[in-house]
């Protein structure tokens, strides 16, 4: 299956040329419910995990009397391969990255982070010769347990969130749009995606986005979103192949909310990793 985003309303590189240097590529993942293989790229579902390696747990929980409770198994959120996503800067001798989190909110490595406690595992797929058969069952009804989804990656050009642009440039883009009666459908693309730029409409962009370990800039690695697109029929981000689906029907809901997660209060979250070494602790920022 191929899923295709609609055409953009305009081309900023032509219409507001000073935006051209800020164009970047993001990869819409287009997750859709399915049965992914354990070695494939996917959200939710089975990870390519060595049977001999203990499944990671969250030990950061206390009962009402302050005594440690748990530990609770982390939940498989995403697995991405170098073959599918050459744009990921894999550390040497790795070609598979796995994201797991605790479904509860915890402190983040970055002081302004907000959301689930995340762990990234970088490994080489061929090193896993004896994969784990059954991973711990996270249950189905948790808000932050993604349904198993296969991916249909699509690369798109995107422009950054306005606070990441030089002063005044976003206003000039906005003025050009107003003059032509158009909406901005090229900045901060919604839905689950790899790389690019996230909307910071709830908290604004934190003043400093640096790795706590080495001070290198943090970069958006993965955006997870409650919704892939709006209810509006004309929304550019509803794939052309799904324009005939009623978003209120069961199939329409499954396409628009494929992971079944409610991120934050129905918004999105971005997992940011260190631009110098992606093995440094990553932070989740929920909007
Ligand atoms: Zn926890
Ligand atoms: Zn770092």
**Contact status, residue 261 vs residue 224, Cβ threshold 8 Å:** yes
- pLDDT beyond 80 at 139: no
Strand ranges inside the chain, DSSP E:
24-28, 32-33, 42-43, 57-58, 61-62, 68-69, 72-73, 75-81, 96-106, 115-123, 149-150, 154-158, 193-194, 218-225, 268-274, 283-286
How far is the centre of ligand 1, averaged over its atoms, from the C-alpha of 71 (Å)?
8
Contact 227, 193 (CB under 8 A): no
pLDDT of residue 141: 64
Span 137-160, mean pLDDT?
A: 90
Ligand nearest to the CA of 106: 1
Residue 284 CA, ligand 1 centroid: distance in Å: 14
Answer yes or no: is pLDDT of 100 > 90. Answer: yes
Q: What is the mean pLDDT of residues 49-78?
A: 93
Please give the backbone phi and psi of residue 27, each rounded to the nearest 5 degrees, phi first: -110, 105
Cα-to-centroid distance, 216 and ligand 2 (Å): 5
Expressed in angstroms and rounded, the spacing between residue 52 Cα and the centre of ligand 1 is 23
For residue 209, the tally of other CB atoms under 10 A from its CB is: 17
What is the chain's length? 287
Tell whether omega for the bond before 200 is within 30 degrees of 0, i.e. cis: no
Q: How much is the pLDDT for 196?
A: 97
The DSSP code sequence of 104-172 is EEE--SSTT-BEEEEEEEEE-GGG-SSB-SSPPP--S--TTSPPPEE---EEEEEB--GGGSPTTHHHH
Evaluate if residue 70 carries a pLDDT over 90: no
Q: Which domains does the chain have, with CATH numbers?
A: 12-286 (2.30.320)
Average pLDDT over residues 270-279: 98
Q: Rounded to the nearest whole angstrom, what is the distance from the C-alpha of residue 57 to the centroid of ligand 1? A: 8
Q: How confident is the model at residue 190 (pLDDT cuts 50, 70, 90)?
A: very high
All residues at 6 or more sequence positions from 182 whose CB lies less than 8 Å from its CB, including other chains: 9, 10
- pTM as predicted: 0.96
Question: Residue 180 Cα, ligand 1 centroid: separation in angstroms?
Answer: 49
Q: Strand, helix or coil at 221?
A: strand
Return the pLDDT at 37.
96
**Which residues make Cβ contacts (< 8 Å) with residue 91, sequence separation at least 6?**
122, 277, 278, 279
pLDDT of residue 204 exceeding 70, the answer is: yes
Q: Name residues with Cβ closer than 5 Å to ligand 1, which is an ion.
A: 58, 60, 102, 104
Q: Which ligand approaches the C-alpha of residue 110 most closely?
A: 2
pLDDT of residue 118: 97
| Interval between CA 114 and ligand 1 midpoint (Å) | 13
Q: Which ligand is nearest to the CA of 56?
A: 1
Contact between residue 31 and residue 195 where contact means Cβ atoms under 8 Å apart: no
pLDDT of the residue at 244: 94
Q: What pLDDT is attached to residue 140?
A: 63
Give the closest residue to 73 by CA, choosing from 61, 94, 58, 88: 58
What's the pLDDT band for 233 if we cut at 50, 70, 90?
A: confident
């Amino acid at each position: 299956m191929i899923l295709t985003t609609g055409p953009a309303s305009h081309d900023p590189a032509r219409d507001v040329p000073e935006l051209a240097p800020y164009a970047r590529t993001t990869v819409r993942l287009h997750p859709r419910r399915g049965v992914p293989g354990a070695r494939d790229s996917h959200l939710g579902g089975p990870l390519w995990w060595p049977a001999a390696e203990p499944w990671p747990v969250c030990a950061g929980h206390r009962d009402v009397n302050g005594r440690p409770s748990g530990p609770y198994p982390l939940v498989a959120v995403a697995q991405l391969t170098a073959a599918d996503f050459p744009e990921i800067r894999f550390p040497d001798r790795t070609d598979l990255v796995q994201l797991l989190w605790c479904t509860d909110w915890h402190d983040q490595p970055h002081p302004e982070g907000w959301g689930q406690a995340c762990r990234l595992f970088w490994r080489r797929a061929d090193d896993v010769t004896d994969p784990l058969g059954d991973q711990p069952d996270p249950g189905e009804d948790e808000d932050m347990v993604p349904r198993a989804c296969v991916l249909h990656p699509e690369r798109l050009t995107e422009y950054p969130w306005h606070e990441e642009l030089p002063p005044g440039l976003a206003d000039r883009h906005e003025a050009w749009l107003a003059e032509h009666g158009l909406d901005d459908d090229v900045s901060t693309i919604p839905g689950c995606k790899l790389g690019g730029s996230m909307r910071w409409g709830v908290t604004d962009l934190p003043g400093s986005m640096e790795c706590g370990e080495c001070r290198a800039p943090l970069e958006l690695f993965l955006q997870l979103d409650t919704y892939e697109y709006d209810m509006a029929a004309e929304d550019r981000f509803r794939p052309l192949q799904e324009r005939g689906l009623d978003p209120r029907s069961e199939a329409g809901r499954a396409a628009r909310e494929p992971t079944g997660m409610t991120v934050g209060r129905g918004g999105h979250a971005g997992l940011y990793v260190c631009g110098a070494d992606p093995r440094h602790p990553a932070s989740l920022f929920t909007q």
